[in-house]
Chain A
């Protein structure tokens, strides 16, 4: 089968010209540059690329938005708890002042 002259002559005439991948050279240079970079700067570069290229993709963007919503709720929860605690303190003081004659006297302008 290997000695098939027809096949051999056909193979001689075959000159494949593969089309290069888009941005093939750029990608090769990028990989060379990446390999020669130090580890911290490579990480920085990867992070930057992820931020600029991957983040705007719908999947990552949705996760970011969801994370921001959850973060916003967490911040609001903390702020609401703080407000609630401050209000409880104020109301407790107001109640105590309402049954404490000395505090009432202390609020009288004559006392000052």
Chain B
């Protein structure tokens, strides 16, 4: 019985150890990965391609920040107007239109940036990258509502 318990303990220990070591070996090396490393790995990019994408990202950053700011302002304004007045006003309609216009501009420039980035990739990777971006934009509320409200 003692021998059996010893064998069972050894088997469990060996199994646990193998599990821990294998997991540690396969997961640990990429723990400090950032999104650029992920992009490079996911779309099989070279260092030169990554450098160029980073340059495009730096150029796009002020545009992205500007849209973010505009969207926040429009959202804040609309929230304040809706809270202030119990009646529908033309200003509310204008602010809402502005909010959706900013949203559409955000999507347009994001897509434009994505298309620029995709030109640096291999054709198959570019297709996958654009599909990822497009699915993201399509999930967002439709910007076409701006045209419909006019």
A residues near B (Cβ < 8 Å) are 51-52, 55-56, 61, 64-65, 67-73, 75-77, 79-80, 83-84, 87-88, 91-92, 94-96, 98-102, 104-105, 108, 110-111
Contact = CB atoms under 8 A, between A and B. Distances in A.
30 contacts: A52-B1, A55-B7, A56-B6, A68-B11, A68-B12, A68-B18, A72-B19, A73-B18, A73-B22, A76-B23, A79-B23, A83-B27, A84-B26, A84-B27, A84-B30, A88-B42, A91-B38, A92-B132, A95-B35, A95-B39, A96-B133, A99-B57, A99-B114, A100-B64, A101-B66, A101-B67, A101-B109, A102-B107, A105-B75, A111-B75
Please classify the interface of chain A as helix (H, G, I), strand (E, B), loop, or mixed, using the class held by over half of its residues. helix
Residue of A92, A94, A95 most packed against chain B (CB within 10 A): A95
List 7 tightest A-B contacts by C-beta distance, closest first.
A68-B15, A72-B19, A72-B18, A91-B38, A101-B67, A76-B22, A72-B15
B92 interface: no
B83 interface: no
Query: Size band of the B side of the interface?
Result: 35 or more
Contacts, number: 125
Interface of B: 1, 3-4, 6-8, 10-12, 14-23, 26-27, 30, 33-39, 42, 57, 60, 64-68, 71-72, 75-76, 103, 106-107, 109-110, 113-114, 132-133, 136, 140
